[in-house]
Chain A
Amino acid sequence: MISATPHDHEVRRLVIRPRSGWIAIDWRELWESRELLYFLVLRDVKVRYKQTVLGVAWAVLQPLFTMLIFTLIFGRFAKIPSDGVPYALFVFAGLLPWTFFSNNISQASMSLMNQQTLLTKIYLPRLFIPSSSIGSGLIDLLVSFGVFAMLMIYYRVGLGPGVLVVPFLVLMTAAASLGIGLWLAALIVTYRDFRYVVPFLVQSWMYLSPVIYPVSMVPAKWQPLLAINPMAGIIDGFRSALLGLPWNYTTIGISSVSSILLLAFGLGYFRKTERSFADVA
């Protein structure tokens, strides 16, 4: 006689029990529900461009205007050096990763609070909720790259082989911003007043990052310290990759390590606090 218990065939078994401490990431679950991530990103992208009159033009105009204002104020009036490249190009090359980074943080950190029903009314891999913000940020980044290309043509500056490093730098930016975004999102669900910290944090962070000034302006012995901020090495790397400026491998190395550490920290904190989200949201 055959006794067919549910364990025998391909029936999935799900065990629910209290857990404690650090909880490992369920990679299998994430992989199986990857389509959900796709639909969440699609939603963010569509919503972003649907209700605006100018649509995609915003993604072009926003960095363009920022670049113009910065060029005027910091390039012309304050005469901040730009390592010998036109200041407009110099600052735009820094704004590319910076805008991506800061938008990711703003979007991801508010994502859980703004979508509470996804925490309290359904179960889904919650890591996807802040992560999907990165997807729409990536679309904006691509548009900005287009604007940058036009600017390069205007200034008659050519691309070197360094451009091949850009995907790696984008990946590091995504890692750092996702790490911080996950951490802040989890904090904000529990302590609502952290949402007021985010704009201040992002703004202060910009001045600690070489967006409007070159790393070379910082005394050499302080440069490794500056590079603990992942955006320091990444922005510097972007300029080397796009404008052919000399590479500073130390800062890029330090910044990459700190990006990965930030991501690991964000993931860990998120997973640890995740199980109480529905109780506190």
Chain B
Amino acid sequence: MTTSAIKVEGIGKLYRLEHAATRSTTFRDALTRMASAPLRRFQRLSGSEATLEDFWALKDVSFDVKPGEVVGIIGRNGAGKSTLLKVLSRIVEPTCGQATMWGRVASLLEVGTGFHPELTGRENIYLNGSILGMRKREIDAQFDAIVDFSEIERFLDTPVKRYSSGMYVRLAFAVAAHLHPEILIVDEVLAVGDAEFQKKCLGKMKQVSAGGDRTVLFVSHNMAAVRGLCARGIWLKDGQVAMDGPAEGVVQSYLQATADAASTRVEFRRPSGSALWIKKAEIAFDGTSSVAAPMGSEIVLSVDFESEIPIKHPRLGFVVQTLEGEKLFQSNNRYQPSPQFELPVSTGTITCSLGAPPFMPGMYVVSLWLGDTAADHHVALEAMVFEITEKDLWGNGQIPPRVTPMWWPTTFSFSALDSNLLRTTSDTYKSS
């Protein structure tokens, strides 16, 4: 019927990354920079110091979305997904290119934007609804449905600062779910809230998108959600469209590419402006470094770091997730007991023994955070990828189906009251 709902033509977004020495967040810095500008220009001409680093968060992105299409945008962290949504939401201005949208646009990059903790649930419904672009009479008309969906009617007149985080998210999503724009732009807001409510939200989104005339752009790390909701997928890689087509195929290619890029030995460049950084990270299975290992392997993660200022208490955290983006577990010596260096050091290695995590066969992704006692200095999201292969762990030829990403080492014991059969069996299966 109509030609397009969203037309994106050659959109680019340039960020100028300034090194710590030249970044000005205070006016004093700006003045100092202004004063030293001629000197820096000279230095740049003579090539002695590059102070600015151009970074294209988006580069020549073009696509066309038909009315009623539901498009999933996928890609690794830093691929430009959020920047694209911010450009299309008019939050940031593109550096070049043009995007045209036909219809009322609503964007949902965060749940509960503008919620005020002192105000009651009722007051926040009106405030948030109005921030999201709803008219008062629309909110009036939807009010009961919003309250119903959020399941918080008993606390409607309680300030939201007294809400549990679950209630807060439910109320915030309920308001957003009752927006009726022609074009809906959604960032990964479903990553919050309890599983049951997430399911309800996905259901609501499905209902919204099945309505036919609603165009939806949806960014997610959750491949299951993208497969379930979207007919079409756009894969962004380094700020550019790597693939655009039916969601299933795009998700497949994306997962394949991530798996192909599996690496358990990664060297890092010092992030600009960082005083403490990861030089190298490595995962070893049963003492040897490889990208794949059988189920039940002992895993050791080691991280070589360097610090500008010698440091006694480096803090390392990591999160392991599935390729589809489901987070499995975390560890961090910010909270867990850990040794310390006796004297401050400027280079060192942190070794983490994970034991033998009960992974099922599949691909797993590791993100790293390195910092000191005050803050994180180097964040390397989805930095490493490894594969776990099948193994007959218990020597009985049984390999459980992959219902969950992990199995669990369990001690089974049986007991019965029947006197003739009174017998207790116990056995432990461990993978060593």
Which A residues have a C-beta under 8 Å from some C-beta of B? 4-7, 11-19, 33, 35-36, 39-40, 42-43, 46-47, 50-51, 115, 117-124, 187, 191-194, 275-276, 278-279
Nearest-CB distance from B120 to chain A (Å)? Answer: 9
Give CA–CA (A35, B2) in the complex, Å: 32
Interface size on B, residues (CB 8 A): 52
Nearest-CB distance from A152 to chain B (Å)? Answer: 35
Give CA–CA (A15, B9) in the complex, Å: 11
- Main secondary structure on B side of the interface with A: loop
- Evaluate contact between B15 and A121: CB separation under 8 angstroms: no
Whether A11 touches B126, Cβ cut-off 8 Å, given contacts A36-B131, A122-B132, A278-B86, is no
Give CA–CA (A35, B136) in the complex, Å: 7
Within 8 A of A (CB), among B279-336: none
- Evaluate contact between A192 and B26: CB separation under 8 angstroms: yes
B42 at the interface (CB under 8 A from A): no
The stretch from B109-117, B257-265, B374-382 touching chain A is B109-117
- Evaluate contact between B95 and A46: CB separation under 8 angstroms: no
The stretch from B96-104, B142-150, B236-244 touching chain A is B96-104
- Evaluate contact between A16 and B118: CB separation under 8 angstroms: no
- Evaluate contact between B102 and A43: CB separation under 8 angstroms: no
Partner of A15, one of B2, B87, B99: B99
- Evaluate contact between B94 and A46: CB separation under 8 angstroms: no
Interface hub of A6, A118, A278 (most chain B Cβ within 10 A): A6
Contacts of A36 in B (CB 8 A): 130-131
Nearest-CB distance from B239 to chain A (Å)? Answer: 16
Give CA–CA (A276, B126) in the complex, Å: 28
- Evaluate contact between B97 and A17: CB separation under 8 angstroms: yes
Give CA–CA (A13, B105) in the complex, Å: 10
Whether A122 touches B114, Cβ cut-off 8 Å, given contacts A19-B93, A194-B27, A275-B93, is yes
Nearest-CB distance from B381 to chain A (Å)? Answer: 19
- Evaluate contact between B27 and A11: CB separation under 8 angstroms: no
B92 at the interface (CB under 8 A from A): yes
- Evaluate contact between A122 and B113: CB separation under 8 angstroms: yes
Partner of A120, one of B91, B123, B133: B91
Nearest-CB distance from B68 to chain A (Å)? Answer: 12
Within 8 A of A (CB), among B346-360: none
* New A-B pairs, 16, CB < 8 Å, besides A12-B104, A122-B91: A11-B102, A12-B102, A12-B103, A16-B93, A16-B98, A18-B96, A36-B130, A39-B130, A39-B131, A47-B116, A50-B118, A50-B119, A118-B113, A119-B91, A123-B107, A275-B93
- Evaluate contact between B28 and A17: CB separation under 8 angstroms: no
Give CA–CA (A14, B4) in the complex, Å: 13
